Amino acid sequence: MARVLLLTLRFVLSNLVFRPAIGPHKPVTIKLKLRLSQIIDVHEIDQIMSCSVWLKQVWTDKRLSWDPKSYGGVNVLYVPYEMIWVPDIVLYNNADSNYNITISTKATLHFSGQVTWEPPAIFKSMCPIDVKW
C-alpha cells in the first residue's frame, strides 16, 4: 500500500521545488531543534569551533497529505529528502563556505502533511573565546 501511495503522490513530488506556502508571499513556519552530538574541535587562535549536530526540522506541506483509510492504514512514509521541498537553513556565524547536507537522509511524511527531517551536519562557527586567566 505504501508503494501505491507513493506512486499517487508522484505528480505532487515532481512539483516540490515550490515552497509549501498558502500563497506566494505567505511564510512557511519551520520548527527547528539542534542537538549537539560532539564538539569536534576548538581552534582558540582562529576562534572557530567545529561541532557535529543533528538539525531537526518540522513543517507542514498540505500537498503531501492523504487519507490513511484509502491506503490500507498507511499513515507514515519515509522518502529521500531530495524528493521533497526542504528549507534552506544556514548557520548565521558560519566559518565555512560549505552549507550542504552531505549525507542523504530520509524525511518522514505524516498523513496530515507534517514533514520531519533530521539530517546530521558538521558546523564550523565563529566562537569568540576569552583566554584570559
Q: What is the CATH number of the domain that holds 80?
A: 2.70.170.10
Residue 131 lies in a domain: no
Model pTM score: 0.81
Q: How many domains does the chain have?
A: 1
Instruction: Give me the residue label for grid cell 512539483.
Output: 15
Residue 103 lies in a domain: yes
Residue 47 lies in a domain: yes
Measured from the Cβ of residue 83, the count of other Cβ atoms closer than 10 Å reads 16
Residue 107 lies in a domain: yes
Domain of 10?
2-126
CB 107 within 8 A of CB 115: yes
pLDDT digits (tens, 9 = 90+) for 42-93: 998 889 999 999 999 999 998 888 999 988 899 999 988 888 888 888 777 7
pLDDT digits (tens, 9 = 90+) for 103-129: 778 999 999 999 999 999 888 888 888
